Amino acid sequence: MKKIMMVLLVVCGFVTDIFAQMTFGNTGLVNIPTADMQKEGTFLGGATFLPKRYMSNDFYYNTGIYYFGLTPLPWVEVTMRETLLYRRKVYDEGYLGGWGYYQQDRSYSVRLRPLMEKEGRWWPSLVIGSNDPWSDHGGSYYSCVYGVLTKHVKFENVGDFGITAGYFYSIHDDDGFGTEKVYNGTFGGVSFTPSFWNKMMILADYDTRGINLGVNVCLFNHWNILAYGRDMKRFGLGMSYQYTIDW
């Protein structure tokens, strides 16, 4: 483990600044969004391993998410994702299946900066977003709308502290599928990027279900790696590729 950490330290010394990335593709901390946004023209694609019951109790198995995101304008961010669903038995027109990942749940997110102004010296940035506001099957694990504020405070020779707070309002609660919503209620978190190594971000957040801790680093200018855990019992890993087109 010590050798692996030494390699990461050496490699990350050659990378550019990073943004933290949520477990399922949006700009954020570990498992909550922030009011930060990627640079205009940024494409993002990645995948995340999620331990069982990390998002909701419906996920009684380990699963994964892969996603693609785009920031076409400095005040708009969109993300498409697929969540692997595991079913012990599959009933479809009389067919009885076995064990395995038989389905992928498609979902998407839209994030807007309504004032079209970034964070200022005396005021935070604001983003309004929604996860799966419309679903083709009547409900989604992620369905919600939210508002979030983020403020960064920089201290010379120390680093950058980010503070985030917001509220999720879940929708499609009575969807007939018995799905438990991943996000519903007040959330918040903090981040820290040390001045001596601005290629790493230390993260902590409360996502309405539990407290998450994580570390995000960037390798070779484009690869983001997120290692995270909850309650020192459930651990996950995510990786994404990020590229910005100057248009």
pLDDT at residue 158 above 80? yes
Domain residues for the domain of 108 are 2-244
Summarised one tens digit per residue, pLDDT across range 20-47 is: 778 989 999 999 999 999 999 999 999 9
Question: Which residue's entry shows tokens 């010394």?
Answer: 13
CATH number of 88's domain: 2.40.230
pLDDT at residue 100 above 90? no
Structural tokens at position 102: 């038989």
Question: Is the distance from CB of 177 to CB of 139 less than 8 angstroms?
Answer: yes
Q: What's the CA gap between 246 and 232, in Å, rounded?
A: 41
Identify the sign of the CA torsion 176, 51, 42, 192.
positive
Which residues lie across from 85 on neighbouring strands? 103
Q: What's the CA gap between 242 and 150, in Å, rounded?
A: 22
CA 156 to chain centre: 29
> What is the model's pLDDT at position 12?
38
**What distances in angstroms separate CA 77 from CA 57, 71, 94, 237, one per listed residue?**
29, 4, 42, 23
pLDDT at residue 120 above 90? no
Q: Domains in the chain: how many in total? A: 1
With vertex at residue 43, the alpha carbon angle to CA 131 and CA 78, rounded to the nearest 5 degrees, is 20
Q: What's the CA gap between 91 and 21, in Å, rounded?
A: 36
pLDDT band at 16 (very low <50, low <70, confident <90, very high): very low
> What is the model's pLDDT at position 19?
65
Question: Is the distance from CB of 150 to CB of 125 less than 8 angstroms?
Answer: yes
Q: Give the 3-state secondary structure of residue 141.
A: coil
Summarised one tens digit per residue, pLDDT across range 192-213 is: 999 988 889 999 999 998 999 9
Summarised one tens digit per residue, pLDDT across range 161-176 is: 999 999 999 886 554 4
